[in-house]
Amino acid sequence: MIAEHLLHPTRKGLYCPPGDFYIDPVSPVERALVTHGHADHARSGHHHVWATRQTLDIMALRYGEDFCKVPHEMPLRERYAVNGVGVEFWPAGHILGSAQILVSYQGTRVLVSGDYKRRHDPTCMPFEFVPTPEPVDVFITEATFALPVFRHTDDHEQITNLLNSVSQFPDRTHLVGVYALGKAQRVIGLLRQAGYSETIYIHGALKTLCDYYVSQGVELGSLQPATLENGKKADFAGKIVLGPPSAFTDKWSRRFANPLICFASGWMQIRQRAKQRGVELPLILSDHCDWDELLDTIAQLQPREVWVTHGRDDALVHWCGLNQIRAKPLNLVGYEDQNQ
């Protein structure tokens, strides 16, 4: 079977005709395989959903227990059949519960990366290479940061910059913009690994998912709500407060002592983006592979062909061509890259 007959793009997402299922569909379908819990990949309204236990839990927390009709828990590293098509879920290292999906049928193997990263993350399982008897026929990879300009610096260097700033400006509250799922918990985890043991204050929008991470055995240390009900602005001087970026544009951010605005994202490597957001301390922390990590992954996998999904597909397709690897963009729509 040729790979295009096993998986191909449609308006609803990647579709597998032999198994009659979609991977990360953007609208409700009968059968959905979901790589992870971010809202642009995990949507409600499907009938059947196959995902890891943690991704199912996260979907229930975000959409309610009735996010789908029939949930199916997929253990990692085990082969299952969905309508006669083999599927395996393997750790992707993106966020808690994230997975790559290997689809196999009649001797053809296609590996769908979902969103993934190769760096150490204290809050989720690391990326794993999927063992196969031969290289996969197709590797479908994301390309969020697939430009040579994106070579992210060491994570611990970024956390050190934050802690140094806290020490340098003890009269200011460091407000760190983070997204609620994955980035918030990772920043907290990296702070703890760096030896920061003080209470970290969080916006209410982060509490539910932080609590869930703790329930899964992720150590986040002392967290408290970032409220002023029983105190005053000066109480947060010299403290670290985490909140969603949207909260920094309303009155919530003005309740703190001389706030110093930080933002944790791979996009902070672009100075103009930091300037546009009024960020004083950009923290280059990405939950995706940078350019070199994408190339390294393809080189190690040695797939016969690479298909590139959302992101900067042109540069990656061009690099594959220069290295005698067949490649093409899939031009899937509905997947956001601004929040990473």
**Tens-digit pLDDT profile for residues 30-87:** 999 999 999 999 999 999 999 999 999 999 999 999 999 999 999 999 999 999 999 9
pLDDT of 234? 79
Burial label, 272 (beta-carbon count in 10 A; 0-12, 13-18, 19+) = exposed
pLDDT of 338? 47
pLDDT of 311? 78
What tokens does 155 get? Answer: 């994570």
pLDDT of 232? 74
pLDDT of 250? 75
C-alpha gyration radius of the chain? 21
Burial label, 36 (beta-carbon count in 10 A; 0-12, 13-18, 19+) = buried
pLDDT of 337? 53
Q: CA angle, corner 65, sides to 62 and 66, nearest 5?
A: 105
Per-residue pLDDT of the chain (340 residues), as tens digits, is: 899 999 999 999 999 999 999 999 999 999 999 999 999 999 999 999 999 999 999 999 999 999 999 999 999 999 999 999 999 999 999 999 999 999 999 999 999 999 999 999 999 999 999 999 999 999 999 999 999 999 999 999 999 999 999 999 999 999 999 999 999 999 999 999 999 999 999 999 999 999 999 999 999 999 999 986 656 777 899 999 999 998 988 788 888 888 999 999 999 999 888 888 889 999 999 999 999 999 999 999 999 999 999 778 999 999 999 999 999 999 875 555 545 5
Burial label, 26 (beta-carbon count in 10 A; 0-12, 13-18, 19+) = middle
49 φ/ψ angles, rounded to the nearest 5 degrees: -130, 125
What tokens does 149 get? Answer: 């300009």
pLDDT of 228? 67
pLDDT of 340? 55
pTM of the predicted protein model: 0.94
pLDDT of 331? 80
**Cβ neighbours of residue 328 closer than 8 Å, sequence gap 6 or more:** 305, 306, 307, 308, 317
**Cβ neighbours of residue 84 closer than 8 Å, sequence gap 6 or more:** 18, 19, 105
The C-alpha atoms of residue 69 and residue 109 are separated, in whole angstroms, by 29
Pair 170, 198: CB distance under 8 Å: no
Domains and CATH numbers, the chain: 3-149+288-329 (3.60.15.10), 155-283 (3.40.50)
The C-alpha atoms of residue 326 and residue 313 are separated, in whole angstroms, by 13
The C-alpha atoms of residue 48 and residue 83 are separated, in whole angstroms, by 12
**Tens-digit pLDDT profile for residues 103-144:** 999 999 999 999 999 999 999 999 999 999 999 999 999 999
pLDDT of 254? 81
pLDDT of 277? 85
